[in-house]
């Protein structure tokens, strides 16, 4: 059974976010940074379980939606319903679709239309923005 997203919006002061997150997590989640490709320990994660937001704990992706994209970032073909939101990202002289946590608005990564069936989408996520909770 899939986890359901947490209801309600997570709001904290900048000081509270800095205290709760590591410097790398803060840079990615709050400042829209990107981790270096190939550095996430979540790339090799294959156990049953759920990937959650490192900022607020919101369940984001189930393991069975993860796939090997060869990009160097954890990739998924579908999020848990209602767990993420998107916006237009016009940074770096291009237009992309940014993915962020629906609860705390933390930056997770981007979604592209070059993924596998059944969705054709590739949610290319920063591993540092997530944590993994193994299934019980």
Q: Which domain holds residue 127?
A: 14-37+47-134
* 107 falls within a domain: yes
* 72 falls within a domain: yes
Between CA 36 and CA 111 the distance in angstroms is 17
* 61 falls within a domain: yes
Domain at 116, CATH number: 2.170.150.20
- Residue by residue, pLDDT tens for the chain (136 residues) are 344 455 567 778 889 999 999 999 999 999 999 999 999 999 999 999 999 999 999 999 999 999 999 999 999 999 999 999 998 777 767 777 899 999 999 999 999 999 999 999 999 999 999 999 999 8
All residues at 6 or more sequence positions from 54 whose CB lies less than 8 Å from its CB, including other chains:
21, 25, 29, 106, 128, 129, 130, 131
Active site residues: 124
Between CA 68 and CA 46 the distance in angstroms is 10
Name residue, tokens 């359901």.
4
pLDDT in the model for residue 1: 34
Confidence (pTM):
0.90
**How many structural domains comprise the chain?**
1
* 7 falls within a domain: no
């Amino acid at each position: 059974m899939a986890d359901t997203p947490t209801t309600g919006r997570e709001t904290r002061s900048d000081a509270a976010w800095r205290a709760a997150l590591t410097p790398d997590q803060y840079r990615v989640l709050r400042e829209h940074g990107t981790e270096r490709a190939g550095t996430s320990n979540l790339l090799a994660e294959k156990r049953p379980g759920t990937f959650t937001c490192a900022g607020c704990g919101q369940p984001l992706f189930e393991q069975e939606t993860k796939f090997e994209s060869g990009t160097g970032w954890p990739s998924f073909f579908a999020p848990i319903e209602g767990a993420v939101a998107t916006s237009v990202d016009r940074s770096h002289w291009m237009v992309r679709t940014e993915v962020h946590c629906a609860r705390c608005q933390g930056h997770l990564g981007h979604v592209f239309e070059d993924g596998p069936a059944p969705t054709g989408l590739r949610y290319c996520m920063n591993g540092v923005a997530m944590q993994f909770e193994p299934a019980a």
